[in-house]
Amino acid sequence: MEIGQIGRNLLAVSPANAIAFFVLCSGAVATQEPAAIAQNQANQVLTDATQSGVVPTSDPPDPTSEVLEKIEQYSQEPDADTSLEQDDSMEQVTNVSQLRDVRPGDWAYEAVRSLIERYGVLGGYPDGTFRGNRTMTRYEFAAALDQVFTQIEELLRQGITSIPEEEFAFLQRLKDEFVVELALLRGDVDGLTARTIELELTQFSTTTKLDGEVVFGLTSIVNGEDANGNDVDGVTTFGHRTRLNLETSFTGRDLLRTRLQAEGMGSLERRTLTPEGELAFTGGTDSNVQLDALLYSFPIGDRTQVVIAANAGAADDFASTVNPYLDGDGASGALSRFATRHPIYYLVSGAGVGIRHAFSEGLELSLGYLAGDAGNPAQGGGLFDGSYGALAQVVFQPNEQLTLGLTYVHAYNNYLQTGSNSANLLGLTTVSNSFGVEASFQINPRFFLGGWVGYTAADVINQGDASIWNWALTAAFPDLGKTGNLAGILIGMEPKVTGSDDRLANLGIDDPSTSLHLEAFYQYQLTDNITITPGIIWLTAPDHNSANADVVIGTVRTTFRF
C-alpha cells in the first residue's frame, strides 16, 4: 500500500488516529523522548516503507497491525459528541490534562500529549474535550497537516530542533498527497480576506447598523355602525408604515437609536368615531418622513439599564409589557392597539428618562418619566408643565413559565388611546392614577396564556371623578404549523367608564353598555424576512353602547424586515 493510500484511509477514522499517524511518521522530532514500543515499531516500518515506496504486505507479522486494530476499534466507539448542533470551534490548549476525555491509559495518549506539549499544534473544544473519535474530512486533515508543517518549519528556523532527512521526506510526501485540498483552503482564506477588506471599505459605518421594517396593511370594515349609530363606511384601504432604524453603539453595550418613519394608512377611528378596535400600525396618510424616535440607552453596572428618549419614547422602551408574543409594536403579533399591550402603558409617551434594574434573575424594577410636549417652551408645555406620564413597575418571574407584573402610572393630560370616547376624556384637563396587573403563563412551549386587568381613577379638574376599567385574556400558539408562525386569540373589554360624577355624566362621560373586543390572527412566516398575517376583529356594542350594531374589521398585514 502506498503512503498516500494510508493517509486517505486515516480520513475515514478519527482525529486521534490521524494525529497518532503524524507522530508515528515524524518520530522524535524535537527532543528524542522514547515513545511507546508500538509507536517505535510502527515508525520503523513506515520509515522502511518510505525508502522502498511500498508498505510491506507479506504474511509475516506486521508491527503496525496491533496499532491499526486499536485504531479501528477506537473509531467504532459510540460518539455522543457528533451532533451537528454543537459548537465545533477549537481552542488552543497547552497541556494534555486540559482535555478531560484524554486519559493516560488511552492508546493515543502519548501522540496527543506530544503534539500539544512539544509542538503546540493541537486544539480542543470549548467544553474541554478533544473528541478523538470524531470523524474528520479531507479538508480538516489537510489543515491539520499544514499546521504541523508550519510549526516544524518555525522550529527549524529558530534552530531548536532537527529532523532526520528520511522522516522529513516522508512528511513531505504525505503533504503532497493533500496539495489540492491545501490549495483550496488557501483559496478560500484569500477569498474571505478579500471579501472582508471589501466590506470594511464599503460598509455604512464602523459604529452604526441600518435596518428597516415595512408594513403593508389591507383593511376593510365588513359591517357595523359608528359611535353615533350611523352605518360605517366600508371602503377598503391599503397603506403602509415604513421605518428605518440607525442603530449606533459606541462601547458595544450602549445604543443610540435614530428612527425615521413614514405613515401612509389612515386610522380606523375616522370611520368608527371611537378609539375601539384601532389597528396598531395605522396613523397618518401623507407618507411624509419624520423623526419618529430618538433615544440612547446605556448600562450602569451589570444590572441597570438607563434609557434617555429625546422623541417619541414609550413605556416598552424601558419596561416589560408582559405580553411577549402579542406585543410586536404593530409589525408582528397582535393587529390591534388594544391587543398589543395593556392600555395604561399608552399613558407614558414622549421625551424623558427610564430606568430598568434587575435585582435578581426573577425580579426587576422599572421607573420612568416621559413628557408629551417636552420640547415646547411655551406656557403649558415643557418637560414638567405639559402632559406627562410617570411609571413604576415590578416584574416578578418565580419560574421560567410564569411572569407577573404590577404596574402603576401617574399621568397628566395623557390618553389611553383605546376604549370608548368617554374613557379617553378628550378635551378635558385630567390627572389620573392607573393600576394594572399583568400575567403570562407558559402551559407548554407552544401554548401561552396571558392577560391583564387595569383600573384608572381619573380626576377631571373642576369637573369630577371617573372610574375606568379594562381587562383582557390572551392565548398565543407559537410555531403553529411551522417554525416562526404564530396564532393568537384575545377577548377583552377595552377601557370603559364604569362610574362618574353627575357633572361628568351631564357632559356625556358615561358608558351605558359593555363592548367586548374579540380578535384572532395567524402570522405566517413566509421567509426569514417576510411575514403575512390575516386577522379579524369583532367589536360588540361599539363605543360601549348596545344601540350601535357590531363592527367587524378584516385585515391582512404583510411585514418586510431588512
- The 10s digit of each residue's pLDDT in 455-480 is 999 999 999 999 999 999 999 999 99
Report d(CA 297, CA 256) in Å as an integer: 7
Does residue 137 sit in helix, strand or coil? coil
The answer, yes or no, to whether residue 312 has pLDDT greater than 50, is: yes
What b-and-e string marks burial along 60-85, b requiring 16 or more CB atoms within 10 Å of the CB? eebbbeebbebbeebbeeeeebeeee
Nearest residue to 243 via CA among 258, 224, 225, 226: 258
Paired sense of beta strands 530-539 and 208-223, if any: unpaired
Report d(CA 207, CA 248) in Å as an integer: 5
The answer, yes or no, to whether residue 309 has pLDDT greater than 80, is: yes
Angle between helices 165-177 and 179-202 (to 10 degrees): 60
Three cell numbers written together for 8: 486517505
- The 10s digit of each residue's pLDDT in 410-442 is 999 999 999 999 999 988 999 999 999 999 999
Report d(CA 253, CA 531) in Å as an integer: 30
Q: What is the largest CA-CA distance in the chain?
A: 113
- Residue for cell digits 421560567? 400
- The 10s digit of each residue's pLDDT in 391-411 is 999 999 999 999 999 999 999
- Residue for cell digits 508543517? 149
Cβ atoms of 375 and 387 within 8 Å: the answer is: no
pLDDT number for residue 147: 73
The answer, yes or no, to whether residue 128 has pLDDT greater than 60, is: yes
Three cell numbers written together for 212: 428597516
pLDDT number for residue 531: 98
CB neighbour list of residue 375: distance below 8 Å, 6 or more residues apart = 311, 351, 381
Residue range 204-561, CATH number: 2.40.160.10
Cβ atoms of 347 and 371 within 8 Å: the answer is: no
What b-and-e string marks burial along 324-358, b requiring 16 or more CB atoms within 10 Å of the CB? bbbbbbbbbbbbbbbbbbbbbbbbbbbbbebbbee
Which range, of 1-5, 122-126, 197-201, averages the lowest pLDDT?
1-5
pLDDT number for residue 232: 92
What value does the mean pLDDT of the chain take?
Answer: 82
Which range, of 57-66, 228-237, 545-554, averages the lowest pLDDT?
57-66
- Residue for cell digits 407559537? 478
One-letter amino acid at 39 equals Q
Q: What is the mean pLDDT of residues 489-502?
A: 96
Q: For the chain, which residues make up each domain, given as ranges? A: 3-199, 204-561
The answer, yes or no, to whether residue 192 has pLDDT greater than 90, is: no
Nearest residue to 546 via CA among 79, 225, 94, 221: 225
Report d(CA 265, CA 556) in Å as an integer: 13
Report d(CA 152, CA 491) in Å as an integer: 72
Report d(CA 218, CA 1) in Å as an integer: 72
More confident call, 273 vs 140: 273
Q: Assign 3-class secondary structure to 282-299.
A: CECCCCCCEEEEEEEEEE
Report d(CA 239, CA 264) in Å as an integer: 5
Which range, of 41-55, 307-321, 349-363, averages the lowest pLDDT?
41-55
CB neighbour list of residue 215: distance below 8 Å, 6 or more residues apart = 240, 241, 242, 281, 330, 331, 557, 558, 559, 560
Which range, of 172-176, 338-342, 394-398, 518-522, averages the lowest pLDDT?
172-176
Cβ atoms of 500 and 464 within 8 Å: the answer is: yes
Bridge partners (DSSP) of residue 368 are 354, 391
